[in-house]
Chains A and B, each alone.
Chain A
């Protein structure tokens, strides 16, 4: 890649915080560091990954509101976690976390267990119950 070809497709994914470094060839054929504001394929792929996340969060939210699953499942999606990751954060087995995703089981959880979920999701217990 030539220096002039270093992509500058800013999509504001960096939110103006930084430009990334790329290595490219200058006119005399030497490699130099060039800053890039972003690149279209990367922006597309990243945008798509976030669309997927948002879609899952939306679905989970709707299911919580319909009383099908507990807020644990919603917050798991919202925090980009999967079952294994969430289980390791709250120190439970995956099957236990899965059980806690049933609304009836969730209602009976102790304050201590709720606090562990709240900590993992960085919310208060009230927010955890109300899905904010």
Chain B
């Protein structure tokens, strides 16, 4: 069996990590923060009517798939992507491509990945990983959130790739077929930043962007009265998990984006972006303080309305801080 040498690099977030590692393999060096920024990965949404296990959904980044799609479009990368009707077809196609020595990005469910610790295995169907070869019947895996490369048995991989639920990965696999030798990052960075600002400031719905943070703040305030103590802590716990937990979404996205701005500032000789990176770091710290306080409230389980009011205040601060930040970022002259 052909075993490609794949340079595994651990990253904070699966999608930006896989795209960074895959493009790097084809000679286009792009860091994780750069991929995240060009892909306009930063976002916020709180969707009380979309419930996962009875708990309202919150997200701190753009929907799955958007980052790699945008990065490819902006950098002129051609990606071959396919979904499959049956596991047999999906596995045969995967074998063909790795046989040809091409590392493949796969969409999969965390629940069926045996190398993940049990405590992280929920039915989260939008996890990205790379398979780069096969050895003694085991698939060689570069999962960007793990320290090192790992392996997976075919049965588990089939289950992970063809998990049911929303969104069903349907065995989705993708790999670059054309990667430009020299890509200029200037225009992609600009477009990525403008798109992020648009999504954070201009979506005319209350659940999205900066207004989404305010929307969540208002909901949090009344959790104890509206849903009761038990559910209030569950709801709050989910907000923290989406912010922080690897594998299901969170990965300190504010810091990741600040790292992108810093790298962009250096690359384009634009000090302004570097200063804005510093501001975003402060917003990230506000989010951290919020998570810390919210964690304490969850732990005490005593849903006194005061603490929920305080948490709501902290969220409003995050909103104000992001509002000011994105307004400045939107005004950067290019």
Binding site for B on A (CB under 8 A): 1, 13-15, 17-25, 29-31, 33, 35, 39-42, 44-46, 48-50, 52, 80-82, 84-85, 88-89
Contacts and interface: CB of A to CB of B under 8 A. Distances in A.
A80 B122 contact: yes
Given A17-B117, A20-B145, A44-B299, A80 B12 contact: no
B122 A15 contact: no
B204 interface: no
A80 B123 contact: yes
B255 A31 contact: yes
A41 B119 contact: no
Given A13-B117, A17-B116, A24 B255 contact: yes
Contacts, number: 120
Contact of A44 (B33, B147, B165, B298): B298
B80 interface: no
Interface of B: 10-12, 33, 53, 111, 115-120, 122-123, 145-147, 164-165, 168, 233-234, 236-238, 240-241, 244-246, 250-252, 255-256, 258-259, 262-263, 277-278, 281, 284-285, 288, 291-292, 294-296, 298-299
Contact of B164 (A39, A41, A88): A88
Most B CB within 10 A of own CB, among A17, A33, A45: A45
A48 B237 contact: yes
Contact of A50 (B11, B119, B281, B291): B119
Given A23-B33, A23-B252, A30-B262, A44 B295 contact: yes
B299 to A, nearest CB: 5
A19 B147 contact: yes
B292 A40 contact: yes
Contact of A23 (B12, B147, B168): B12
Q: Majority SS of interface residues in chain B?
A: helix
Contacts of A29: 278
6 contacts: A14-B117, A15-B119, A21-B10, A44-B237, A48-B237, A49-B241
Contacts of B238: 45, 49
Contacts of A35: 147
A85 B298 CA distance: 28
Given A19-B147, A23-B252, A82-B53, A42 B281 contact: no
Nearest to B247: A20
A20 B246 contact: yes
A25 to B, nearest CB: 6
A32 B164 CA distance: 37
Contacts of A82: 53
Q: Majority SS of interface residues in chain A?
A: mixed
A41 B292 contact: yes
A87 to B, nearest CB: 9
Contacts of B123: 80-81, 85
A18 B145 contact: yes
Contact of A42 (B10, B111, B115, B244): B244
Contacts of B262: 30-31
B241 A42 contact: yes
Nearest to A120: B164
Given A23-B255, A52-B234, 14 more contacts: A1-B255, A1-B281, A13-B117, A15-B118, A20-B246, A22-B12, A33-B10, A33-B12, A35-B147, A44-B298, A45-B241, A46-B245, A50-B119, A80-B123
Contacts of A30: 262
A23 B11 CA distance: 9
A45 B117 contact: no
Contacts of B120: 13-14, 46
Contacts of B234: 48-49, 52
B241 to A, nearest CB: 5
Contacts of B263: 31
A25 B255 CA distance: 9
Contacts of A84: 165
A25 B281 contact: yes
A45 B288 contact: no
B19 to A, nearest CB: 15
Contacts of B250: 42
Given A44-B295, A45-B295, A49-B237, A21 B12 contact: yes
